[in-house]
C-alpha cells in the first residue's frame, strides 16, 4: 500500500499497489480511477497501466475508495467482498425517486408525530439479514442496460430484491428531520435503499442526504489520501 510522500518506481505500480483514496463529492468512482491512471501514465511516460476500484461510491458520496494497480487488480473481488462502514444523514419527511439528492423530492410527509424512541427502535429492526431492493437510479444492469438508463427514460423496470446483512445500524444524532447514523454492512448493500426503507418502516418517508464510507475491511478512510495529495507526489508540471 502506498500512502507515502514520494511516488514509487514504475515496477511497483505494475507489480501491484493498493491505493486508498478519499473520494471527493461529485466525482464518480470511474473519474477517480481515470485520474490516477492518467497521472501514472504521464509520470512514467507509458501508454497503459491497469487501475481499478474495489467498490463503487455514488457521486454524492465521499470517503474510502480502494484502488488497485497492475497485477493487484486481480484482488479487487476480494476487497469488494469485505464488510463496509458508512456514516451519513437520512432526512425524514420526504422521498425522492433516486432515494438521495440526485433527483427532486416527489412526496412529503408530516414528521411531527415521530419520536426519538421510535426512530432508534426502528433502526434496530434492520439489523441482521434483510431483503433489499436496489434503487432504480443505480449502475446495476438488466437486459444489458444500466438501471439508471431505464429510470432517466421514464421506463418502469422490475428490480429483484437481494439478501444483504446489516451488522450495525446506530443512530448517532437526531435533529429533526435529519438523522445522523453509522452503518456496518455486507457487500451489495445500498445505503440509499436502507434510508428509503427506514422511512417506510416509520410509516413516513425518507431519503439519503449525505454519505461517507469510512471503512472497507481493515482499511480506513483515516489512512486515505486526497486526489490532490496523490497528484502532488509527482514531479511533472500539471
Q: Known catalytic residues? A: 58
Please state, in angstroms and rounded to a whole number, the distance separating the CA atoms of residues 130 and 126.
7
Contact 41, 57 (CB under 8 A): no
Please state, in angstroms and rounded to a whole number, the distance separating the CA atoms of residues 24 and 47.
27
Please give the grid coordinates belonging to residue 198. 427506514
DSSP 93: S
**Closest C-alpha to 25, from 184, 188, 187, 210:** 210
Residue length of the chain: 238
Only one residue has cell 426502528, namely 122
Amino acid at each position: 500500500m502506498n500512502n507515502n510522500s514520494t511516488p514509487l518506481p514504475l515496477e511497483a505500480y505494475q507489480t501491484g499497489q493498493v491505493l486508498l483514496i478519499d473520494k471527493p463529492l461529485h466525482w464518480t468512482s470511474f473519474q477517480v480511477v481515470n485520474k490516477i491512471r492518467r497521472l501514472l501514465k504521464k509520470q512514467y511516460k507509458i501508454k497503459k497501466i491497469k487501475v481499478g476500484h474495489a467498490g463503487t461510491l455514488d457521486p454524492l458520496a465521499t470517503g474510502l475508495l480502494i484502488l488497485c494497480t497492475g497485477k493487484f487488480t486481480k484482488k479487487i473481488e476480494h476487497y469488494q467482498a469485505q464488510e463496509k462502514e458508512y456514516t451519513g444523514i437520512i432526512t425524514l419527511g420526504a422521498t425522492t425517486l433516486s432515494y438521495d439528492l440526485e433527483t427532486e423530492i416527489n412526496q412529503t410527509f408530516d414528521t411531527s408525530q415521530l419520536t426519538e424512541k421510535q426512530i432508534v427502535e426502528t433502526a434496530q429492526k434492520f439489523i441482521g439479514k434483510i431483503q433489499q431492493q436496489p434503487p432504480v437510479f443505480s449502475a446495476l444492469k438488466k437486459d444489458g442496460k444500466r438501471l439508471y438508463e431505464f429510470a432517466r427514460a421514464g421506463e418502469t423496470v422490475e428490480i429483484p430484491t437481494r439478501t444483504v446483512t446489516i451488522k450495525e445500524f446506530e443512530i448517532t444524532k437526531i435533529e429533526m428531520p435529519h438523522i445522523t447514523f453509522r452503518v456496518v454492512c455486507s457487500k451489495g448493500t445500498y445505503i440509499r435503499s436502507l434510508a428509503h426503507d427506514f422511512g417506510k418502516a416509520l410509516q413516513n418517508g425518507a431519503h439519503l442526504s449525505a454519505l461517507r464510507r469510512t471503512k472497507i475491511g481493515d482499511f480506513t478512510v483515516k489512512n486515505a489520501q486526497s486526489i490532490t495529495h496523490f497528484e502532488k507526489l509527482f514531479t511533472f508540471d500539471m
